[in-house]
């Protein structure tokens, strides 16, 4: 039981990581349909508007040229790089956001925006009758986006010497420069970026003499003097939506629209490369350009990329009042609603400090860092999350709604429990218990320390140990089950109690049994353990340690302050209780309720009690569901060495004397 609960959490908390590198098929195991999802998304937008292809190419290019291909151009904000002057007119953000949303639903937090950009650029070229290529992936998204850092973007006004320098700074040579500019064969620009060439070049009142005079009138008709500067014009008049070499022919013949493009023909360093590509639109020259363009795009996509832990995919799990944010894609499953850090910051409208988050761990397999954040004070976000079909769900409800044979779902539950326990501990440890001064988080919130220099007491997350035991008679034929007044009707369970200071686990089992039912216990046999992160806020995580306790006496004397009743039950009675209880139905009903919550149909209240009632409505008695260690103690005794409810039982029958140890 304990091993199953912690299976995924063990992986999650692996602190050691490796420096990843770009490689083809990076997502083949973690998100097999990643590239197909991006392709279908680009295809759907391209079918409606083929001019989205150059927009996506430009978006990828502008992303790579600022801080490397890290997706930072996608980050919104008044001072973000997407608002810099060189990035004016950028579009296609909705395509990337759409693909990202689809991938988050399929593979939450796995595929970076930087990789989506690179894949979308490739698909845009391919859909425009251009070449296709294998895109090495594994980029990590950047954390910083500043408009001030976009000054190194190539400009339409740049002379070739400046263009060459800017490309060289990114590890790209003259051949790469001309080849990548060839993407303008499907490109577009706005009149405001070249109209000066038509009417007032170098403030002379004349047109640019390098423009073919027969072409000027055509351009002036497209962009009248003092007309709409935002009007878009194709950079390749001959074949505006076909990826071919006619663009280079236009540059050679003086028909380039941007000044920076035309200058490539006038500079000896680049003229021969343009000449090499210029010629017939189809044929060997086109094939050569396709080949060289593929190589240049792979090279561009590798510019200053962040891999490994340089620019991790950082996933944040929001909580409110101890409830994790969840989503439900169907009526029988739920998922944790991991969000990108940038998205959380956008929703809050503030720049959060590192102190706002609690570190959960690093997953080396997915190269992702996990955090949790408490949004209990941000009540305005509930409606906004609701509009996204997300909801804060009580952890007990998610426990009921989890299929315990689904290891991935169990891993999500373990992560949510771990996060809730840390956040609750974080909230109750704001002040030092030794001197009363404020505490400060250390090691990304994994521990705290008193802020008083004379104290500096270290504080670690709290775990409260609890023993839970199934008391069995000396003949191993009957088990003692109890019920409390707070239980729902007809539910019976094991005895349990907290461990006293200075007490061993076995001593706690014997003491609690004696205090609650007046039965003396001899041999105590360990069964399994389970974290229980749904206790009261003062005890954010209890550790339930399960035992079989073999009775030396049979007479029951119930402590009415602790229990409502306690009775011996035969193995057959317990088996009937387990057989009649429809745990799978209860799980599916709970999962369906979670779906209704996230859709706003159902209120987000605790559902665990009503589902226990539902699950036992056909039985005279029932026991807790598979989400509780009590269920596994009881079922493994009732069905020794048998798989019950999909969980392998690990009953440990006593060996040796029944006498007092």
Q: Which residues contact 526 (CB under 8 A, 6 or more apart)?
A: 505, 545, 546, 547, 652
Among candidate residues 199, 228, 215, 206, the one with its CA nearest the CA of residue 257: 215
Q: Which residues contact 382 (CB under 8 A, 6 or more apart)?
A: 320, 392
* Annotated binding-site residue numbers: 63, 66, 68, 70, 72, 81, 154, 184-185, 236, 244
When pLDDT is averaged across residues 212-232 and rounded to a whole number, the result is 91
Would you say 516 and 476 are in contact if contact means Cβ atoms under 8 Å apart? no
The residue count for the chain: 661
Give the model's pLDDT for residue 203.
81
Give the model's pLDDT for residue 622.
84
When pLDDT is averaged across residues 78-93 and rounded to a whole number, the result is 88
* Annotated binding-site residue numbers for heme b: 184
Question: Over 60: is that where the pLDDT of 615 sits?
Answer: no
Lowest mean pLDDT among 280-294, 521-535, 590-604: 280-294
Question: Over 50: is that where the pLDDT of 661 sits?
Answer: no
**Please, what's the largest Cα pairwise distance for the chain?**
110
Cα–Cα distance for residue pair 105/390, rounded to 1 Å: 12
When pLDDT is averaged across residues 70-79 and rounded to a whole number, the result is 85
* Annotated binding-site residue numbers for substrate: 154
Among candidate residues 414, 410, 656, the one with its CA nearest the CA of residue 531: 414
Cα–Cα distance for residue pair 336/321, rounded to 1 Å: 16
Q: What are the residue ranges of CATH 1.10.420.10 in the chain?
A: 158-307
The verdict on domain 21-153 having CATH code 3.40.50.12280 is no
Give the model's pLDDT for residue 589.
84
Confidence band of 415 (pLDDT split at 50, 70, 90): very high
Would you say 123 and 115 are in contact if contact means Cβ atoms under 8 Å apart? no
Give the model's pLDDT for residue 650.
40
Confidence band of 20 (pLDDT split at 50, 70, 90): very low
Query: What separation, in Å, do the N-terminal and C-terminal C-alpha atoms of the chain show?
Result: 26
Structure tokens at 190: 């706005």
Active site residues: 62
**How big is the CA angle at 297 (ends 291 and 301), to the nearest 5 degrees?**
155
> Mean pLDDT across the chain, nearest whole number?
84
Torsion of CA 149, 151, 154, 157, to 10 degrees: 170
Would you say 541 and 461 are in contact if contact means Cβ atoms under 8 Å apart? yes
Give per-residue burial for 466-499: e unless 16+ CB within 10 Å, then b. bbbbbbbbeeeebbbbbbeeebbebbbbbbbbeb
At 622, give phi and psi (nearest 5°): -150, 165
Give the model's pLDDT for residue 619.
60
Q: Which residues contact 19 (CB under 8 A, 6 or more apart)?
A: 307, 308, 309
Beta bridge partners of 450: 439
Instruction: Give, as one character, the DSSP assignment of residue 577.
Output: H
Give the model's pLDDT for residue 295.
95
Give the model's pLDDT for residue 353.
54
Cα–Cα distance for residue pair 521/660, rounded to 1 Å: 8
Would you say 307 and 138 are in contact if contact means Cβ atoms under 8 Å apart? yes
Tens of pLDDT, residues 292-330:
999 999 999 998 887 765 655 668 999 998 899 998 866
Give the model's pLDDT for residue 194.
93
Give per-residue burial for 394-416: e unless 16+ CB within 10 Å, then b. bbbbbbbbbbbeeeebbbbbbbb
Q: Percent of the chain, pLDDT > 90?
A: 50
The verdict on domain 158-307 having CATH code 3.40.50.970 is no
Tens of pLDDT, residues 323-369:
999 988 666 788 899 887 767 766 776 555 555 678 888 775 665 77
Would you say 99 and 37 are in contact if contact means Cβ atoms under 8 Å apart? yes
Quick one: fold of 2-11+314-458?
Nucleoside Triphosphate Pyrophosphohydrolase (3.90.79)
Name the strands in the sheet holding 447-450, side by side, starting at the edge strand that comes first in the sequence: 439-442, 447-450, 458-459
**CATH annotation of 464-581+616-648:** 3.90.79.10
Confidence band of 491 (pLDDT split at 50, 70, 90): confident
Tens of pLDDT, residues 537-569:
678 789 999 999 999 999 999 999 999 999 999
Structure tokens at 272: 């021969």
Q: Percent of the chain, pLDDT > 70?
A: 84
Question: Over 50: is that where the pLDDT of 224 sits?
Answer: yes
Give the model's pLDDT for residue 355.
58
Give the model's pLDDT for residue 148.
85
Question: Over 80: is that where the pLDDT of 636 sits?
Answer: yes
Among candidate residues 566, 532, 143, the one with its CA nearest the CA of residue 371: 143
Give the model's pLDDT for residue 200.
87
* Annotated binding-site residue numbers for Ca(2+): 63, 66, 68, 70, 72, 81, 185, 236, 244
Structure tokens at 583: 């745990």
Question: Over 80: is that where the pLDDT of 620 sits?
Answer: no
């Amino acid at each position: 039981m304990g091993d199953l609960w912690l299976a995924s959490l063990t992986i999650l908390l692996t602190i050691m990581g490796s420096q990843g590198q770009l490689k083809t098929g990076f997502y083949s195991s973690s998100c097999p349909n990643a590239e197909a999802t991006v392709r279908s998304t680009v295809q759907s937008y391209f079918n409606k508007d083929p001019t989205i292809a150059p927009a996506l190419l430009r978006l990828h290019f502008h992303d790579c040229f600022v801080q490397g291909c890290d997706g930072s151009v996608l980050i919104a904000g008044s001072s973000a790089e997407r608002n810099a002057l060189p990035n004016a007119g950028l579009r296609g953000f909705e395509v990337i956001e759409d693909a990202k949303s689809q991938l988050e639903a399929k593979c939450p937090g796995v595929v970076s925006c930087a990789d989506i950009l690179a894949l979308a650029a490739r698909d845009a070229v391919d859909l425009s009758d251009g070449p296709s290529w294998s895109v090495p992936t594994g980029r990590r998204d950047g954390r910083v986006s500043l408009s001030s850092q976009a000054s190194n973007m190539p400009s339409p006004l740049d002379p070739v010497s400046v263009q060459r320098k800017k490309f060289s700074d990114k590890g790209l040579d003259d051949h790469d420069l001309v080849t990548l500019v060839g993407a303008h064969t499907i490109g577009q620009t706005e009149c405001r970026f070249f109209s000066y060439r038509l009417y007032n070049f170098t403030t002379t009142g004349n047109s640019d003499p390098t423009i073919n005079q027969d072409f000027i009138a055509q351009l002036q008709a497209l962009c009248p003097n003092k007309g709409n500067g935002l009007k878009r014009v194709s950079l390749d008049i001959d074949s505006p939506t076909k990826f071919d070499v006619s663009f280079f022919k236009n540059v050679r013949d003086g028909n380039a629209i941007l000044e920076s493009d035309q200058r490539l023909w006038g500079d000896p360093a680049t003229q021969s490369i343009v000449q090499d590509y210029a010629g017939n639109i189809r044929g060997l020259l086109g094939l050569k350009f396709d080949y060289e363009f593929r190589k240049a795009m792979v090279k561009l996509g590798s510019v200053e990329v962040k891999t490994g832990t340089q620019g991790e995919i950082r996933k944040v799990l929001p909580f409110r009042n101890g409830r994790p944010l969840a989503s439900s894609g169907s009526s029988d499953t739920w998922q944790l609603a991991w969000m990108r850090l940038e998205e959380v910051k956008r929703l809050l409208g503030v720049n959060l400090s590192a102190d706002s988050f609690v570190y959960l761990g690093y997953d080396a397999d997915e190269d992702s860092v996990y955090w949790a954040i408490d949004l209990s004070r941000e009540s305005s976000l509930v409606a906004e999350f609701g509009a996204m079909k997300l909801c804060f769900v009580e952890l007990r409800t998610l426990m009921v709604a989890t299929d315990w044979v689904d290891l991935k779902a169990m891993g999500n539950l373990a992560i949510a429990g771990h996060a809730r326990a840390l956040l609750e501990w974080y909230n109750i440890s704001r002040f030092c218990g030794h001197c009363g001064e404020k505490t400060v988080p250390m090691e990304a919130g994994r521990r705290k320390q008193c802020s008083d220099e004379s104290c500096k007491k270290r504080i670690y997350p709290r775990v409260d140990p609890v023993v839970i035991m199934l008391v069995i008679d000396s003949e191993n034929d009957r088990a003692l089950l109890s019920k409390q007044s707070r239980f729902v009707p007809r539910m019976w369970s094991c005895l349990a109690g907290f461990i006293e200071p200075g007490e061993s686990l076995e001593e706690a089992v014997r003491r609690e049994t004696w205090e609650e039912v007046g039965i003396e216990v001899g041999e105590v046999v360990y069964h399994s353990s389970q974290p229980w992160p749904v206790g009261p806020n003062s005890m954010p995580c209890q550790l339930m340690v399960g035992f079989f306790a073999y009775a030396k006496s049979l007479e029951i004397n119930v402590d009415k302050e602790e229990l409502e009743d306690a009775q011996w039950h035969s193995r057959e009675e317990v088996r009937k209780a387990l057989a009649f209880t429809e745990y799978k139905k209860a799980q599916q009903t709970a999962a369906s309720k979670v779906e209704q919550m996230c859709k706003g149909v159902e209120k987000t209240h605790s559902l665990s009690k009503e589902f226990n009632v539902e699950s036992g409505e056909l039985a005279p008695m029932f026991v807790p569901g598979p989400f509780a260690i009590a269920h596994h103690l009881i079922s493994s005794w009732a069905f020794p060495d048998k798989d019950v409810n999909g969980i392998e039982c690990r009953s440990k029958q006593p060996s040796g004397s029944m006498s007092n140890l």
